[in-house]
Amino acid sequence: MRRILSLAVAQLSCLAAVSLAAPKASFIPRYQEGTPLGMRCVALDPQDFRGQPIYRIEFDIETPNNGKEEGMIHRSWNEFQKFDKMLHSRWVFDNISDVVLPAEDSVESLHEYLQIAGQHESILISTELSDFLGINWSGQDLGFMSTLTEFMKVVIPQAYRAPEFPPEPPIFTTELDTITAPETPFEIYVYLMAFRARGHLSEYLEFFNSFLNTYPDFSGEDVSPPGHEVVTPPHFDQTYVHFLPGGYNNGHTVRISYLGKSKFNFLHEDLIREYILKYHGEKQPKRILDIGTGPGFSAFVLAELFPEAEVIAVDLAAPYIRMARQWQTLRNITNIKFYQANAEDLSFLESETFDIINYAYVLHEMPADNAKMIVDEMYRLLKSGGVMNGFEVPYVENIVERFFYIEFNTWGHHWDDNGEKGPEPYTEEYELGAQLSLYLEEVGFKDVQQIDYTYFESLFLATKS
């Protein structure tokens, strides 16, 4: 980054680093828990993804079951300076006057500094040292969008303590590893901190983008339907949701979105399966369309529940479709066809040929007119008696609550205004313009239902006359 971030970057400025020298294999740092026994600075490694030189620290910990483990973390000179300032400004550390940060950084001087610090029990057992070593925090206890209460922990620092130094970042060298590797604490941390970046979002996104650029980009073959030109609407490359730098067309964001399965309720395949069975389990569809499939969560569930059906899964972002096709091969599911396509124009698909059309978290991510065009296409493509199943942001009927909901999700900015925008910049368009429940009826759907699940999502059901 060109400069160190201010407040939140009191937490972000000291991010753990990875070497730009690409390893032969992906590096997936493991979560470690225990009490530090000692640490040593062993090397100055090449610059990290922010362009900063980083020191490699090795450490020993006693695990909760009385075992012993070794670990490693990278820290920059700026991080050492922050750590030292914390030690000497917090009352829990007394009689540590001998712990003096060297005037000039080097492997030898920082090693000696850590040796002296390690002689103080108050430092060894401290949260500050655990944070500095990147241990004792996994982020797995965060529920993100599971409930409003859990989300408050994400956006309010006082409600949930994030570590002052993040864990070690992963390095992915293959697309396969980005699909199969479990989420790392560092990735949870950077997603969490995006929601706390109000007031310095542009600087945070510069850092976030630098990290995402270490991911594979899922570039490659044309994945559009044969003979069909995919036209990308302007909004898709103008205002980005979920703080993703470059939006969904940036293939480096694919893994972060894939990891959303641990953050958004209806990206959990078990929950998708439960609700599809509850409302459609008795059906015997021959053809199913999954709109905005992303990495394919819903498509895989639909294909497994209805093995005799053909599932067509579309998404506007080609990198996500390439990832979904790789994941499909890994899962050996043969009754899905993944395509890049704009759901506003699915003219390559014949009218009235689908029994079920599903989508998840799609219509609230665009201007109202675009969302309505997708609803029109869904109506065209469904057979008479066919059903639409949408896992979507609620349409808030109470006008006062609706305006609060808009402010909460947009940070008070219209999607096409300059300035910092919240995680869901199109909420105003969705709530005031698309008004999904009303528009479904206007188009001609019958038996329209909105079944609320949480503050963040509802299930929308509708049947074509």
- Asked whether residue 266 falls in the same domain as residue 170, the answer is no
DSSP, residue by residue, 305-371: H-TTSEEEEEES-HHHHHHHHHHHHHHT--SEEEEE--TT--TTS-TT-EEEEEEES-GGGS-HHHH
The domain spanning residue 185 has which CATH number?
Answer: 3.30.1520.10
pLDDT of 16 over the 60 cut = no
Contact present, 216 and 179 (Cβ < 8 Å): no
pLDDT in the model for residue 94? 80
- Asked whether residue 259 falls in the same domain as residue 165, the answer is no
Name the band, by pLDDT with cuts 50, 70 and 90, for residue 287.
very high
The pLDDT tens digits of the residues spanning 408-462 come to: 999 999 999 888 889 999 999 999 999 999 999 999 999 999 999 999 999 999 9
Look at the chain and report how many structural domains it folds into.
2
H or E element at residue 299: helix 297-305
And the tokens for 406? 């808009």
| Mean pLDDT of the chain, nearest integer | 93
pLDDT of 23 over the 60 cut = no
- Within-domain flag for 218: no
The pLDDT tens digits of the residues spanning 82-99 come to: 999 999 998 888 889 999
Last residue of a domain, one of 162, 192, 222: 192
pLDDT of 11 over the 80 cut = no
What is d(CA 163, CA 139) in angstroms, rounded to the nearest whole number? 10
pLDDT in the model for residue 159? 96
Q: Could you count the other beta carbons within 10 Å of the beta carbon of residue 414? A: 15
- Asked whether residue 166 falls in the same domain as residue 283, the answer is no
- Asked whether residue 437 falls in the same domain as residue 295, the answer is yes
- Within-domain flag for 216: no
- Asked whether residue 177 falls in the same domain as residue 302, the answer is no
- Asked whether residue 139 falls in the same domain as residue 272, the answer is no
The pLDDT tens digits of the residues spanning 201-236 come to: 999 999 999 999 999 999 999 999 999 999 999 999
The range of the structural domain enclosing residue 73 comes to 8-192
- Within-domain flag for 70: yes
Last residue of a domain, one of 176, 192, 208: 192
pLDDT in the model for residue 20? 39
- Asked whether residue 440 falls in the same domain as residue 305, the answer is yes
pLDDT in the model for residue 418? 85
Name the band, by pLDDT with cuts 50, 70 and 90, for residue 50.
confident
Contact present, 445 and 462 (Cβ < 8 Å): yes
Determine the residue type at 92: V
Q: Could you count the other beta carbons within 10 Å of the beta carbon of residue 75? A: 26
The domain spanning residue 379 has which CATH number?
Answer: 3.40.50.150
The pLDDT tens digits of the residues spanning 395-416 come to: 999 999 999 999 999 999 999 9
pLDDT in the model for residue 14? 39
